[in-house]
Structure 1
Amino acid sequence: MLKTLNFISALMIIISLLYTIVVYQYLPSEVPTHYNLHGKPDAWGSKPIIFLIPGISAYAWLLIYIVYKYYDKIAKLGLNFKNEIPSEEAIRFDKKLLVVLNFESALSFSLSHMKDVYNILGGNIDFGVYELVIFLSVILITLVYGILKGRKYK
């Protein structure tokens, strides 16, 4: 399951990047770079800036993936407040949590970016402030679950 989630999250970022490349020629010379809480553009930049979000998403995904891949070794260094080495159960749980958070953030950023590009091209998908609320809620629920469930592991 973890390999599948890693694959799907990487695939979403690649699809987002490919979509941007395919429609790039149809974008105006200035594109929105920031939106207010109501989903309306309030800052503008030159067309190449449109690759910033997929680039940041790919970079963040790669960093979290590297931590996930080497988490066993990192955890066994005992770099925590008590200088203790976590149990194998705790390490497995932490790795699952990393993959799920990586999936949620990659999915959210990719879908949001593709929605923004679609809207720049004349589409009309508008979630307004709810997009941010949904994204933060999903991440927060996952983190709270991870903290509460992770407390049972030593």
Structure 2
Amino acid sequence: MLASIKEKTKSEKVLLMLSIFGLVAMFVYVTLIWSELPETIPRHFNSKGEPDGFGGKGSILVLPFVGLGIFILTTLLSQIPNAFNDPDRVTEEQKQRLYIHGRICMSFLQTQIIYFLLYGVWQTAQVALGKASGLGIYVLPIFLFIIFGTIIYFTVRGQRMYRKE
């Protein structure tokens, strides 16, 4: 049974490919626009999405490398069944189902974060190039709604899976 829990589900495979695509897109986009970027670009945005901190154009590389770090960390962490906090009285069958459920949750979160960072890279470049004035006021609330919505959904679903038996 251990081999079956190591096997990725179809949704995990799709989300993995989407995450890899998002990471590659970030690095390719930065490479393509690098020569067009001014020497000083926004590196921080306030809660309204307006730039309030500036740095050298190399600061645009922070987001792709943060995305890569998150990708590596979450991919490695999802391979460790004991990293998930299961209830004390869980059967082996429940533990396996909850582990797969947790991996799927982590895959969704990984993909969402990478695409938020991809948007951040793109929008930072747009602001730096004078094509936009900021991220927009709704970006942060939408991102937080999506992330917390995913966490709540998977938490409630995991509780229901645990209580079924």
Report TM bin, short chain: 0.7 to 0.9
**Residue of 115, 118, 141 corresponding to 2:126:** 118
Task: State how 1:82-93 maps to structure 2 within 5 Å.
Answer: 82=88, 87-93=95-101
Q: TM-score, normalised by structure 1?
A: 0.86
5+ residue gaps, structure 2: 1-10
CA RMSD of aligned residues (A): 2.1
Paired with 1:148 and 1:107, the residues of 2 have a C-alpha distance of 24
Task: State how 1:96-115 maps to structure 2 within 5 Å.
Answer: 96-115=104-123
Paired with 1:80 and 1:150, the residues of 2 have a C-alpha distance of 10
Residue 83 and residue 31 in structure 1: after superposition, are their counterparts in 2 closer, same or farther (change >3 A)? farther
**Residue of 7, 24, 42 corresponding to 1:14:** 24
Paired with 1:90 and 1:81, the residues of 2 have a C-alpha distance of 10
Asked if the contact 2:86–2:98 (Cα under 8 Å) also holds between the matched residues in 1, the reply is no
Q: TM-score, normalised by structure 2?
A: 0.81
Residue 83 of structure 1, CA deviation: 8.2
Asked if the contact 2:22–2:114 (Cα under 8 Å) also holds between the matched residues in 1, the reply is yes
Q: Is the aligned partner of 1:40 residue 2:46?
A: no
**Residue of 34, 59, 71 corresponding to 1:49:** 59
Residue 128 of structure 1, CA deviation: 2.1
Fraction of identical pairs, as percent:
21
**Residue of 71, 76, 101 corresponding to 1:66:** 76
**What count of residue pairs does the alignment treat as equivalent?**
150
Residue 94 and residue 110 in structure 1: after superposition, are their counterparts in 2 closer, same or farther (change >3 A)? same
Asked if the contact 1:87–1:153 (Cα under 8 Å) also holds between the matched residues in 2, the reply is no
Paired with 1:92 and 1:128, the residues of 2 have a C-alpha distance of 36
Name the aligned partner's letter for residue 9 of structure 1.
S
Residue 81 of structure 1, CA deviation: 6.7
